[in-house]
Amino acid sequence: MASTPQLRVAAAKNPPKASKPQQDGEPSTRIPPAETASVEDHFFWTYTEEPHRSRRQAIIKAHPEVTKLCGPEPLTKYVVLGVVSLQICCAYLLRNTSMFSWRFFLTAYVIGATSNQNLFLAIHEISHNLAFRSPLANRLLAIFANLPIGLPYSAAFRPYHLTHHKSLGVAGLDTDLPTAVEAFILNSLLGKAFFCTFQIFFYAVRPMFVYSPPFTLIHLLNLVIQLSFDYALTRFCNGSLQPVLYLLFSSFLAGSLHPCAGHFIAEHYFFSNVQHGTESIQEHKLLAKEKASDQEREKKTPHPLDSLPPPETYSYYGPLNIFTYNVGLHNEHHDFPAIPWTRLHALHRIAKEFYEPLPCHRSWVWVIWTFILDKNVGMWCRVKRAQGGRLVGGGGSTKNSNGRAGECMSAGPDEAGDDGWKESEIQN
């Protein structure tokens, strides 16, 4: 049986000394907080490189055929057309239905929220130029997919999301990271429940306080087309605001306490302090083959990940991937952002020796439930780094490479190699 592949862990130049030694005498990868915050910082700060680039290179070396999986997926545009049509149809049929009726709420939760979550993730997929070969065609399809969301979103999302890929965990660049103030205020049962209920607003507002990409013609086009659509839908429905309210309410529910919204938390909050629920596929296979005796079950054996930094990305392989462009295969997506949603399972099968040992989630509903109720996981459970990364979409250049907002980070000369990224993905 082949041994588990070893990944390169690169340290930043002149990293700070580790704050706590591990029990075996090896230095910990955890370092003191690199940011000055108004509250005590409990994030997991590290100097190590994010894991996806090195794993991508290792997979390509072991399985060079995976690069053939890269490229646009023609099916995407048809799925987008179908879901947009469904949402416009539902909005029209609810034009005379009160927003406070059970029919309005149930439709918005079951159909609307699921559909708009699907469109959020269609825009996510299209942001990597995975619907067409033409960047402009991708931008226009994203604007079309944006229509049932109710507010212009697609143009602003793209530079922030590509920077998230190039700068995973880098403070001041990765806008997916909560701030220390957010974590301090919301790190309680009620706070986490509030965050999960209104997380769509956190993801919408937080980036504006981190850095601002330039406003382009695509942003203007997105704004004009979205507002024109909202106005035209209202006029077509004889001045009724119910259709637009339905679309907006669907977008809110899509990022609230909805099963599909579990992916927001599942992707990058680490659950390594929780005793069960994120076992790897490999661990489940071993447990299925060898049923431990009751005595062995009672023994508290160290988890194989205890001596490592907490995982930064978790995958989910359950049925909700059907509605969400396989975004659950998130390790696979971060390793190869140029592979479309329909081929991520093929990537997993080809490189299963890399993915099966990784911790993963079994249920997004469990993720939300555990995140709120378990004191061992919360807003502080994110890995942060002060150096590295790359700002995508403008913002100026600087010689100082410390990951602060507004700086254009250089990923180094070897980042532009044949490692599964297409240069067209970072072109505006």
Q: What angle do CA 70, 74, 80 make, to 5 degrees?
A: 120
Q: Are 47 and 9 in contact (CB under 8 A)?
A: no
Q: What angle do CA 70, 78, 219 make, to 5 degrees?
A: 80
Encode pLDDT of 296-345 as tens digits: 544 545 544 444 567 899 999 999 999 999 999 999 999 999 999 999 99
**Does residue 203 lie in a domain region?**
yes
Rounded Cα gap, residues 267 and 269, in angstroms:
6
In the chain, % of residues over pLDDT 90: 67
Rounded Cα gap, residues 114 and 320, in angstroms:
10
Q: Mean pLDDT across the stretch 243-256?
A: 98
Domain hosting 213: range is: 46-285+309-385
> Residue 280: what pLDDT?
77
Q: Mark residue 277 as left, alpha or beta (left: phi above 0; alpha: psi -120 to 50; beta: remaining).
A: left
Both tokens of 126, joined, read: 């299209």
CA 407 to each of CA 25, 46, 335, 416: distance values in angstroms, whole numbers, following the listed order: 37, 20, 24, 19
Both tokens of 245, joined, read: 């309210």
> Residue 283: what pLDDT?
72
Number of domains in the chain: 1
> Residue 402: what pLDDT?
39
Q: Could you tell me where the beta strands, DSSP code E, fall in 249-354? A: 315-316
Encode pLDDT of 385-417 as tens digits: 987 766 776 544 333 333 333 323 333 333 334
Encode pLDDT of 29-85 as tens digits: 655 665 555 567 889 998 888 899 999 999 999 999 999 999 999 999 999 999 999
Q: Which one-letter amino acid corresponds to residue 321?
A: N
* CB atoms closer than 10 angstroms to residue 216: 16
Length of the chain: 428
Bridge partners, 170 (sequence order): 385
Encode pLDDT of 347-368 as tens digits: 999 999 999 999 999 999 999 9
**Does residue 415 lie in a domain region?**
no
**Does residue 22 lie in a domain region?**
no
CA 60 to each of CA 47, 53, 232: distance values in angstroms, whole numbers, following the listed order: 25, 11, 49
**Does residue 128 lie in a domain region?**
yes
Q: Which one-letter amino acid corresponds to residue 288?
A: A
Rounded Cα gap, residues 11 and 262, in angstroms:
32
Q: Is it the case that residue 282 has pLDDT exceeding 80? A: no
**Does residue 87 lie in a domain region?**
yes
Encode pLDDT of 114-138 as tens digits: 999 999 999 999 999 999 999 999 9
Q: Are 198 and 256 in contact (CB under 8 A)?
A: yes
**Does residue 139 lie in a domain region?**
yes
In the chain, % of residues over pLDDT 70: 75
Bridge partners, 352 (sequence order): none
Q: Which of 318, 324, 420, 316 is nearest to 358 (CA)?
A: 316
> Residue 40: what pLDDT?
75
Calculate the average pLDDT of the chain. Answer: 83
Q: Which of 151, 194, 203, 201 is nearest to 174 (CA)?
A: 203
CA 258 to each of CA 67, 112, 145, 265, 370: distance values in angstroms, whole numbers, following the listed order: 35, 11, 20, 12, 14
Q: How confident is the model at residue 158 (pLDDT cuts 50, 70, 90)?
A: very high
Report the range out of 22-31, 205-214, 246-255 with the highest average pLDDT.
Answer: 246-255
How many alpha carbons fall within 13 Å on the CB side of residue 161?
Answer: 22
**Does residue 357 lie in a domain region?**
yes
Q: Are 150 and 247 in contact (CB under 8 A)?
A: yes
Q: Is it the case that residue 175 has pLDDT exceeding 90? A: yes
**Does residue 330 lie in a domain region?**
yes
